């Protein structure tokens, strides 16, 4: 069929009349496509958009990692911001939208690479195509930090020893730290006893050859030459295996500076869903902070890092499941500023308590505008106003957009 693309849908596909989704197309384009069940396969772009550019990655269009490399950057970024504004509007929320932060190519410091059996010296390594369990083997990844890209051959050699059991489908969660690459491996069949002693030894040998900082299997140490660390504000944090970090260091710095500036003048701050302290240490230069999150590993890491950051105004740390046991309004009675940075599901239970508290300022960080909008509506109904929002694009060429919102009562 010949189709005219009217808009870009939520997953980054072009949308034609009749809600037909055509990947790798742009608004205004006329295309030829094979159509079935509301989705289409692009055959040819017959009349390209003036905003179409040459994708920088040779794997684009096959690999499922990126959806929008073919779109000129300014138009692509404007679409992300418009999509975020539209999501807020569905909850009847209007606010000031600041100029977005946009990460550039070669800045992603954490990626997840999937491995499939290859030969003894190298596994097949790459990303899954959209809607498939197959694998697109990659040689380059323009979104990733150069150090991660350069390690792809060594990662293939490392993964070759993970297939003793036919049901193993390993994933390598690779993070660039100040000490080098930290790799946590999941998906290795464990019911058969996991990797043999011989495979573990070879895994460690290949990690040493590549000079990786650490390799873990589901969080269990398999090899370590150096403790992976990152600097968060004035602190140096020793990362537990598989610890969450913002995807790019630039986005982390921009969000941290924004959050700390918006918290200026606070007398006591609650940092909820604090993780290893992404915002905690910067906030603790402003006022005393109570940091809370669920998981012994992150709480221990944050607590230990306090010794590396003298001069803070005080930090207390609590291991607490904020979904099952949110801090109650009573717990926040001496807190005037609350920062929350929940996972994609949002912070419905915790936000309800914040709304009932006496806090006058709330700063919400979110990787999911839909759940942020839901939580924002709860705060607005409790007497807050969403004064401004900072859009953050750190998942380059994907449909995902993040944001930081500032609420005042």
pLDDT band at 375 (very low <50, low <70, confident <90, very high): very high
Q: Report in angstroms the alpha-carbon separations of 119 from 159, 160, 211.
A: 10, 7, 22
* Domains of the chain, earliest start first: 2-52 (2.40.50.140), 78-104+245-408 (3.40.50.150), 110-229 (2.40.50.1070)
Check: CB of residue 400 under 8 Å from CB of residue 367: yes
| pLDDT of 193 strictly over 80 | no
Phi and psi based region of residue 28 (left: phi greater than 0; alpha: psi -120 to 50; beta: remaining): left
Q: Look-up: residue for tokens 């000490």?
A: 179
Mean pLDDT of 370-383: 98
Q: What gap in Å lies between CA 161 and CA 288, rounded to an integer? A: 48
CB atoms within 10 A of CB 294: 15
Mean pLDDT of 82-107: 98
Q: Report in angstroms the alpha-carbon separations of 343 from 40, 323, 347.
A: 32, 11, 8
Task: State percent of the chain over pLDDT 70.
Answer: 100
Catalytic positions, please?
367
pLDDT band at 286 (very low <50, low <70, confident <90, very high): very high
pLDDT confidence of residue 88: 98
pLDDT band at 120 (very low <50, low <70, confident <90, very high): confident
Encode pLDDT of 4-25 as tens digits: 999 999 999 999 999 999 999 9
Q: Is the pTM of this model over 0.75?
A: yes
Q: Report in angstroms the alpha-carbon separations of 124 from 34, 113, 114, 127.
A: 30, 10, 8, 10
Encode pLDDT of 232-255 as tens digits: 999 999 999 989 999 999 999 999
pLDDT band at 276 (very low <50, low <70, confident <90, very high): very high
Q: Which two tokens stand for residue 379?
A: 């705060």
pLDDT band at 40 (very low <50, low <70, confident <90, very high): very high
Q: What gap in Å lies between CA 392 and CA 149, rounded to an integer? A: 24
pLDDT confidence of residue 296: 86
Question: What's the mean per-residue pLDDT of the chain?
Answer: 96
pLDDT confidence of residue 74: 97
Task: State percent of the chain over pLDDT 90.
Answer: 92
CB atoms within 10 A of CB 197: 7
Mean pLDDT of 49-70: 95
Check: CB of residue 376 under 8 Å from CB of residue 370: no
């Amino acid at each position: 069929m010949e189709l005219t693309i009217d808009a870009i849908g939520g997953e980054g596909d072009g949308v034609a009349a009749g809600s037909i989704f055509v990947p790798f197309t742009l608004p205004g384009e006329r295309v030829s496509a094979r159509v079935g069940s509301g989705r289409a396969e692009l055959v040819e772009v017959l009349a390209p958009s003036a905003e179409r550019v040459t994708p920088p990655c040779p794997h684009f269009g096959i690999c499922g990692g990126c959806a929008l490399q073919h779109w000129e950057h300014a138009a692509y970024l404007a679409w992300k911001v418009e999509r975020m504004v539209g999501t807020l509007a569905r909850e009847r929320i209007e606010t000031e939208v600041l100029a977005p932060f946009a990460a550039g190519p070669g800045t992603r410091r954490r990626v997840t690479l999937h491995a499939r059996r290859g030969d003894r010296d190298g596994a097949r390594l790459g990303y899954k195509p959209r809607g498939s369990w197959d694998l697109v083997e990659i040689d380059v990844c323009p979104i990733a930090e150069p150090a991660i890209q350069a390690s792809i051959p060594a990662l293939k050699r490392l993964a070759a020893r993970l297939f003793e059991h036919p049901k193993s489908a390993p994933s390598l969660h690779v993070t660039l730290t100040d000490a080098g690459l930290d790799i946590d491996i999941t998906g290795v069949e464990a019911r058969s006893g996991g990797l043999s002693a011989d495979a573990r030894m070879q895994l460690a040998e290949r990690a040493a050859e590549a000079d990786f900082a650490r390799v873990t299997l589901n969080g269990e140490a398999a090899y370590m030459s150096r403790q992976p660390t990152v600097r968060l504000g004035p602190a140096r944090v020793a990362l537990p295996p598989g610890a969450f970090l913002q995807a790019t260091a630039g986005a982390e710095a921009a969000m941290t500076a924004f959050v700390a500036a918006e918290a200026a003048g606070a007398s006591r701050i609650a940092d909820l869903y604090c993780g290893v302290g992404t915002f905690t240490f910067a906030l603790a230069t402003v006022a005393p902070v109570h940091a809370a999150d669920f998981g012994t590993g992150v709480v221990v890491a944050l607590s230990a890092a306090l010794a590396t950051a003298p001069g803070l105004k005080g930090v207390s740390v609590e291991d607490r499941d904020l979904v099952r046991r949110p801090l109650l309004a009573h717990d926040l009675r001496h807190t005037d500023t609350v920062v929350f940075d929940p996972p994609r599901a949002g912070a419905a239970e915790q936000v309800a308590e914040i709304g009932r508290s006496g806090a006058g300022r709330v700063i919400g960080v979110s990787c999911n505008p839909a759940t942020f909008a839901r939580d924002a509506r709860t705060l607005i109904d409790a007497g807050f106003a969403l004064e401004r929002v900072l859009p953050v694009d750190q998942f380059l060429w994907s449909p995902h957009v993040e944001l930081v919102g500032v609420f005042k009562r």
